[in-house]
Amino acid sequence: MFAGTYPNEVAGLVFVDPTPDFTRTSDDDLSEVFAPIGLGQEERDEMRALERPPDPTTPGPILAEVAMASAMSAAFFPEIQTLPPSLRRFAAGLARGTFVETAASSHQIQKSEPELIAWAIDRVLQR
């Protein structure tokens, strides 16, 4: 929205999106899947916190978002499962688009591979 409203103020966009596998939070998944790719204790705690009921003093819009995210997760993200692999085509179709895929990140890419995020932002700013 900001880019559309103020196009002269935006050098480019960097989209960062985790894989849908972050929804798996069993003990086996946390130790066998996520630990080898760098998911630390802090990220594990954050994932487990999503399984607990929210604090009742949390503002209504945040509670609504948590409820929606929980429902999507419980249904194993059917919307994501039906999407065609179009993000790569979208990026390739842009004049200066780039699609980067990494298998070395946890759900929180900015924590597990901050240098990759910095590279992507730097790349946009140097064009």
Whole-number pLDDT of residue 2: 82
Neighbours of 105 (CB within 10 A): 20
The domain ranges of the chain are 2-125
How would you write the pLDDT of the chain (127 residues) with one tens digit per residue?
788 888 899 888 888 876 555 445 555 556 666 666 666 677 667 766 666 777 878 888 888 887 887 787 777 777 766 666 667 787 778 777 888 878 777 667 887 889 999 999 998 888 6
3-class secondary-structure state, position 22: helix
